[in-house]
Amino acid sequence: MDQELSKVKNAIINGQTVIGIELGSTRIKTVLIDGANTPIASGSHDWENSYVNNIWTYSIEDIWRGVQDSYLKMATNVKEQYGVPLQTVASIGISGMMHGYMVFDRNEKLLTPFRTWRNNITGPASEALTKLFTYPIPQRWSIAHLYQAILNHETHIPEIQTMTTLAGYIHWKLTGRKVLGVGEASGVFPIDLKTKKFNLQMIKQFNELIGPSHYPWLLEGILPTVLMAGEKAGELTAAGAKLLDVSGQLQPGIPLCPPEGDAGTGMVATNSISVRTGNVSAGTSVFAMIVLEKELSKVYPEIDLVTTPEGELVAMAHSNNCTSNYDAWMGLFSEVIKALGMKVEKPKLYDTLLSMALEGDPDCGGLLAYGYISGEHITHFEEGRPMFVRSSSGNFNLANFMRVNLFTSLGAMKIGLNILFDKESVKVDRITGHGGFFKTKDVGQKIMAAAFNVPVSTMETAGEGGAWGIALLASYMVHRGNNESLGDFLEQKAFVGKQGSSITPDPADVVGFNEFMKRYIGGLAIERSAVENLQ
């Protein structure tokens, strides 16, 4: 047997590997890493949100079916590669799409369907709480959802016993503990940067705000406990082991790290937790996160303030829509090819057409598009209407069409970034990208570099995404040295020898992107009219 293969097999048998599971918007992925923090097996499950009663949601049944299928495929991958069953590991980490709203009663029953980050239905609550706290409260944050439900006089409010996020829910069911990592917690309710816990003054303000309603709970009683990266967050129970591994092979007693959201795991997976570093996660949604040197001078509704998994302040510019609309166009092009009696594999279709974007005019030839599948808070849309529009004088060809669909994927986020760069003089030395936007070689990086006007890097591990990121956090919990920071662990143990590539911005592309943004902002009235007149 190959020496390296034998080494990995022994690590699996002896429980020296680590599991990371992330529930993303379109895929649930489970990854197994070895002692060198290198992925050695994986499994995934594709899924999609549903739009039910004007709510973007996933059912509890779909959540667990997806987690179990993803885990089983990873375990099967282990058995096929190494010939041994996966029965125990050194640690496990759970991650999920950020924030949203999950509330349960005293019998652990979900009181209302899971409300995901994609819902732009909490505008009044977001605005009122931002004013109350003098702190930005985005619409997707759990506290915004809770207060909006209160404003709406929803009948489930008095029954709430627990409020958490998707990652927190999965972790709770596996361990029995209601906890969150500080990065994910910072999107549930504001964090006190000194204590690294929920802000007690703001909790008091919220309790006073809802006091006249005389609910049988106080906010601190329904919130999870906040934990830092590296802290132990519970152990896999016997019931949790059966819930995760339907084959019954996985043994209880395995420690779990604090559950995190995809924002935190994205920072970890791109080694972007130090000051003046940033990362962009670009897939169904797109968000840029920059670790700040100092607090911002004022509150900006377009900018979220969250934290790293170690509780350091991060500015986030988040857009609800990124690749979904051009994915739909790809589906249409695939139908055309099929109708002509031909067959092209999906990777080739994407690589061929997306690469053509690099041949287009710098400003997309005057074309305009919006990929608003759902609403977009940065540009103040509660609903979206995907659209493509052009003037009769525009240079309408395939290269420009692909280019404008890539440009517009970053349009809303760019508005938020301009606030940070132009109004707050935020400095960033390095941006690292990950997600589906970067799958086609060079294309996503070049477009992103034009938007940021700074070099954009990707890592060879970017394809593993947040599942690898949460696996690294689980590895950090059990393998860190005395007083070793997460940053040191990543630099010295996780990213040593990992290869990446960096692309600097082309000045012509930067000018072209800025010209496109003038058209994008000016054309928002067209998008508004579409929302109002197209049902």
For the stretch 265-280, pLDDT in tens is: 989 998 999 999 999 9
Residue 518: inside a domain, yes or no?
A: yes
Give the count of domains, the chain.
Answer: 1
What percent of the chain is modeled with pLDDT above 90?
Answer: 83
Over the stretch 218-252, which tens digit does the pLDDT of each residue have? 999 999 999 999 999 999 999 999 999 999 999 99
Over the stretch 300-337, which tens digit does the pLDDT of each residue have? 988 999 999 999 999 999 899 999 999 999 999 999 99
| Nearest residue to 475 (alpha-carbon basis) of 458, 492, 499, 497 | 492
224: DSSP letter:
P
| Nearest residue to 432 (alpha-carbon basis) of 267, 285, 286 | 267
When the pLDDT of each residue in the chain is averaged and rounded to a whole number, the result is 94
Residue 11: inside a domain, yes or no?
A: no
User: What is the span of the domain harbouring residue 379?
Assistant: 324-409+508-533
Residue 52: inside a domain, yes or no?
A: no
Residue 275: inside a domain, yes or no?
A: no
Mean pLDDT of the 363-385 span: 94
Residue 18: inside a domain, yes or no?
A: no
Over the stretch 428-483, which tens digit does the pLDDT of each residue have? 988 998 888 988 989 999 999 999 898 899 887 655 678 999 999 999 999 998 88
Which pair of tokens denotes residue 218?
């106080």
| Nearest residue to 149 (alpha-carbon basis) of 161, 162, 137, 158 | 158
Residue 181: inside a domain, yes or no?
A: no
Over the stretch 182-226, which tens digit does the pLDDT of each residue have? 999 999 999 999 999 999 999 999 999 999 999 999 999 999 999
Over the stretch 330-356, which tens digit does the pLDDT of each residue have? 999 999 999 999 999 999 999 999 999
d(CA 53, CA 22): 27
Residue 469: inside a domain, yes or no?
A: no
Within 10 A of 160 (CB to CB), how many other CB atoms are there?
20
Give the largest CA-CA distance in the chain: 71
Rounded to the nearest 5 percent, the helix, strand and coil shares of the chain are: 45, 20, 40
